[in-house]
Structures are given as C-alpha cells and as structure tokens.
Structure 1
Amino acid sequence: MTGHTVTQPHRTSCTPARAARELGLRRGEFDLAVQLGRIRTVPDEGGGGTRRVARAEIERLRRSEGFPESVRERVRTVGTGEGAALMQVSPGRFTRLARLGLVVPVFFHLNRYRAVVWMYSAEELRQFTADEEHTPLLKARTPEGLRGQLEAGLDLRPRNWRGRHLGLLLRQTDDPWERAGAVAAFLDPARIAETVPDPHERSYLNRHRPGPPAHGAPGSPAARLSAEIMTADDADEIDWLRTDLARAMDEARSYRPAPRATPRDGHRAPGQGGPPEPGKPRLPHRLLSRLRRGRR
C-alpha cells in the first residue's frame, strides 16, 4: 500500500456497447437513438476518442415509463411502405411528402440492386400526422406550387439527410478542428481547396474529416454512391457550407494552428548549407570522386 488513491476514470460512464446492452437495444438501435438525440453521450473522461454514455443517462432511460419497449419504440424506423401505412396515405403521397422535405429521413441503406432506401423515424411520422395543420397535405390535393416543384425534379431527401447528419457530427464534438472537419465532410475536395487554400491546414483538416456511412468495400459502386449522397450538390447548400467552413476554420486556427512540416534535425534540403550530421564527416569532393572510381 503506497497511500495513493487509484482513480477510475470510467466509473461514471460506460461504452456504447455496454450502454446498449443495459438498455436492451441492438447496436443499430442505440446508434440511431444517439443520432436522434434520444440518448445523450459525453466525451471519454479517460482521454479516449470514443464517446461514452453517463450512468445517470442510463438510469434516466431505465426509469422512463414502459421501459424498455418505450425506448425501443422511440427509435423504430420505417421505410416508404410502412411509413405510408402509419400515416394512412398512399406510398405515392408519402414519397411526394418526403421529396418536398416535409418528412425527413434519418438514414439510408442500399438494397441489393444498389438502389437507395430511405428510412424514417416512426415517432416523427406519428407527430406529423397528429398535427392538424398537416391534414390538407395528407388528405387534399397537393397544392399547385408544390406539384410544380415535384414535376421539375425536386427531391430534398439527400439534402435533408445531410443536414441531419451534420447536426449529429457537430453534437458529438467540442474540438474546433473536428467541427470544421464535420462541415468539410459534405463538400467535394475542389470546394474545400477553394475555401482552405493553405495545404498544411487542408491536410490537417482532412485528418478530422469523417467519411460517409460505410456501404460496400472502398471504391465499390455502393461506396461511391454513398459518397455522392454525402456530398452537397445544390448551389445554395454549397454556399452556406463554405461559409460555415470558413467560420469554423477561423475558430480552429485560433484554438490550435495546423502543424507545419519541418525537416528533421540534421537533414537539409538540396542546396542548403549547415553542418554535417554528427558522426558523418564531410569528405572533400576530390576524394569522393576517387573512391567512386575505385568501386567500378
């Protein structure tokens, strides 16, 4: 016994996997609950990079009425068919509401034909349906102005998903560089280079830039489609993302300048002067020439 107290940095929180088990959730359900803000996470007090769940948060959820079914129901997701049935509308009307941005997907996956399947929060759809202001959208003919937008090809599902996913990424970090990386995740490399011209800053930013949700092996058609959905393509969306990135970069620079590549001690670029490396005396040029000829 030395008299020193052994600290337990994780005594007040647990890993996501442990939290999911204690809450009776599958890992996918748990991750979605975090994304939707149903479960709050905290930084790792032990200094690790993975966020954790406070014990107090777990106890709060376990005390909720109807646990664990109530917690699981709050993160239930449905596709177009189930969503339409829940809202008591046709699948066609449901798709039109989603394309208009009136109902927002929470995530997507690709089926075996590499078609995008959008998934929605059942709880949010119930809330939308219960709001009397939305009754005309559910029962009456779609207003002419909205029909015109649909006929012109409007589809806000990818953009709305990007906005939702960005919110998730920003909620999960307080580090200014990670926040800047989250914004940059939705811009293509050319837009990032225009907004962050310094190559050292851009390299450091890319280290904090999260990739798209994993779909297929890297470089596969599925992975490329996922990256395409992740990347903003509307002019106004690109503009506000670039504005947000520029603002985030100002905060990141003030918080922690990007590291600059410097030569290691004793190494010189061609043409630079300076003393030779220790233990390696510099030989006269003529002697070096003789030694090289003698090796032939």
Structure 2
Amino acid sequence: MPGHHTLTHEVTDTDTAVTERATGNRDAWITTGRAARELGLKRTEFDLAVHLGRVRTAPGDGGEGRRVARAEIERLRAGAGFPETLRRSVRAVGTTEGAALMEVPRTRFTRLARLGLLVPVRFYPNRYRAVVWLYLAEELRLFAADGKNTPLLTGRLPEGLRSQLDAGLDLRPRNWRTRHLGFLLREADGPWARAGAVASLLDPLHVSQAVTDPYDRSRLHRFREAPLFHGSPGSPAARLTEDLMTAQDPDEIAWLQSELTRLTHRAREHRPAPRPASRCPGPDHRRTPRAAGPARGTPRGLLARWRRGNR
C-alpha cells in the first residue's frame, strides 16, 4: 500500500498469527468504491444510498475516508429482490420525469414541490445556472398513491396555498437542507462532529452569534462539513451551491442557532476545546549582584583604616 514499507525479517509463529488477524480485519472492511460495485450501483446511486441511510458506512482508519463493513454488503445482498429493490429505492428523477410518474402537469408538480409537499433529495446547477432538483421516485409514487393527496393532484389548490405561492414561497432549498442535515448527523462521529454538522448550514456571522467563545468556534470549524462541489471555487455554480447550503429564513436560522448552542454545550462537557497553555512565571535566573563592600566614610570603613594604620 502507498506510504507503507515492507520490513524483511524472520517469520515466526507470532508474526503469522498477527498477519492473519490483520488480513482478516482488512477483509472485514472494503472501500466505498468497491462496495458500490459489489452492490451493482453507480457511484451517484451509492452516494445517495449512503445519504439516505440505505447503506451504513464507518470512518476509515487514519483519515482514509469512509468504508463499508463486509457484513453490511452481505446484509444488503441477502435482501429480497436484490439488486433491483435497492436500485429502485435510490432512483432519483427530475421535474419532468417526476410529473409523468405522478401523472400531473409539470407546473402542478413544481407547485407541490415549492409548497414543501415534495422534498428534493439532490440538486445540481445546470449550464444555464438554474437549479435542477431531484426527487426520490419511490416517494413520489407513495405520494400519488395516497388518496388523501388526490385533491392536490387534480383539483384547484386551496386559496391559502395559492396565496403563499403568489408571495414567492419556495421550500425546496430549506427542505433539502433539513434532509442533508439528517445525513450529516447520522454520519457524525462524536458530539463536536454533530455540532459541526449544524454549523455547516449557517454563515460565520450566525455561528459567532450562537457560539461566542472563539476557542469553541475554532474547534467547530474543524468539524464543519466541507461544502458540496459544483463548479470550480468562486464560480457562479459554486456560489449558487453555497447559497443553497446556507440557511436563509429567519426562523430556520434561529432554530439552527438554538441547536448549535445546545450541541456545542454538550460537546464542551464531553471534551472542552483546546486552549493556549497559561504561562506561569518561572524562576528568576538573573545574576544576583555581588554585595558591595563597605563604603568609604562609613563606620566599618573607618575602623578598617585605623587597624591598618596601627599594625
């Protein structure tokens, strides 16, 4: 493996046992790329399966990324209808395909999504700098099959909903952030990571308002989720992605700040953020001045002169 060196030495029974245990441990875990291949999923499908909790992963050793237990692969492969069932559960569709699946016009589909009734699971900016939202086909089918939703699919929308749409309501970004936060919290390893997951959806000003201690903020920054990459840094696509990942509505910001304060307090109790060591004054190593002899004209000085004169 890169970065590892092979040492040549005499093989003993102890070495063999250690090697067998190490090999068994490596075989118990596989990379996410290999897991995707063994599950018959494209990489985008596998990543979505992880986001949705369909596939459980764990952090690798030494910051090597996430990995999948062999037992998890076997569990999924033993499921009924594998691999079609797993692949169908992570199928994501856009507006046109989603509307056709629900048998409604595209405009109706978009309105339902803006009202927050259909929750996107992914997004990406297209070449025209417009956001393309993707939805789980499985969730759309369930929504359309629910008889309680029939008036929303065929009838005229209630006046209250129409007025919200006319006022510009669009809950798609917020609903996606809520869903993404659920994924981040599932993947978080420890209290500081959970606090960092919440902080990743707030801009720095709102984080500083919720967490006033600079050392806590510095530790939080280590656990903030890296932004999604759509386009090169600083590009219009990257800025659009950053905007979509950052809470915008005042009530959403207030809720996230409250959660961040609570989770940071819990993380601090678990393990306080590192702080600079206080500098204690050490011993004074300066040279102590030699005591001066009796000054001329003092009683001791006169007595010494008198003795020298009478010798």
TM normalised by structure 1 equals: 0.85
Q: What is the percent sequence identity of the aligned residues?
A: 61
Structure 2 vs 1, CA of residues 273 and 58 (structure 1 numbering), >3 Å: closer, same or farther? closer
> Aligned partners of 1:274 and 1:129: how far apart in 2?
79
Q: Which moved more, 1:49-58 or 1:141-150?
A: 49-58
CA distance in 2 between counterparts of 1:274 and 1:157 reads 64
Aligned partner (choices 61, 64, 67) of residue 82 of structure 2:
67
Q: What's the CA shift for 1:50?
A: 2.7
User: Which of 142, 156, 170 is matched with 1:127 structurally?
Assistant: 142
Mean Cα displacement is larger for which, 117-126 or 33-42?
33-42
CA contact (8 A) 2:188 2:197 kept: no
Q: Shift of the alpha carbon at 1:69? A: 2.4
Residues 25-63 of structure 1: per-residue CA shift (max 9 Å, x gap):
11111000111122122344x454633222222112212
1:38 pairs with 42, 54, 71, which one?
54
Equivalent residue for 2:230, pick from 215, 236, 245: 215
Q: Which amino acid aligns with 1:210?
A: E
Please give the root-mean-square deviation of Cα atoms over the aligned residues, in Å. Answer: 2.2
Q: Given residue 260 of structure 1, which amino acid in structure 2 is its aligned partner?
A: R
**Who is 1:187 aligned against?**
202
Q: Which residue of the partner structure matches residue 154 of structure 1?
A: 169
Once the two structures are TM-superposed, the CA of residue 13 in structure 1 deviates from its matched residue by 2.4
Shift of 1:66: 2.9
Shift of 1:160: 0.1
Q: Aligned ranges for residues 131-150 of structure 1 at < 5 Å?
A: 131-150=146-165
- State the AA in 2 paired with 1:3: T
| Shift in Å, 1:65 | 3.0
Q: Which residue of 1 aligns with 2:299?
A: none
Equivalent residue number for residue 27 of structure 1: 43
Give the aligned partner of residue 3 of structure 1: 14
Measured in 1, the distance between the counterparts of 2:284 and 2:42 equals: 62
Pairing 1:14–2:55 present: no
Higher gyration radius (CA):
2
Other structure's SS at 1:53 match? strand
Instruction: State the distance in 1 between where 2:210 and 2:118 align.
Output: 32
Q: 1:225-240, aligned counterparts within 5 Å?
A: 225-240=240-255
The aligned amino acid for 1:185 is S
What's the counterpart of residue 51 of structure 1?
66
Among 228, 247, 253, the alignment partner of 2:262 is 247
Rounded Cα–Cα distance in structure 2 between residues aligned with 1:51 and 1:12: 14
SS at match of 2:150: helix
Structure 2 gap segments, 5+ residues each: 1-11, 288-311
Residue 121 of structure 2 is matched in structure 1 by: 106
Choose from 167, 179, 182 the match for 1:167: 182
AA of the residue aligned to 1:180: A
With structure 2 as the length reference, what TM-score do the two structures score?
Answer: 0.81
Amino acid in the other structure paired with 2:190: D
Q: How far apart in 1 are the matches of 2:125 and 2:284?
A: 60
SS at match of 1:118: strand
- Deviation of residue 10 (structure 1)? 3.3
1:177 aligned onto 2:192: yes
Structure 1 segments unaligned to the other structure (5+ residues): 283-296
1:294 maps to which residue?
Answer: none
Q: One-letter code of the match for 1:155?
A: D
Match of 1:198 in 2: 213
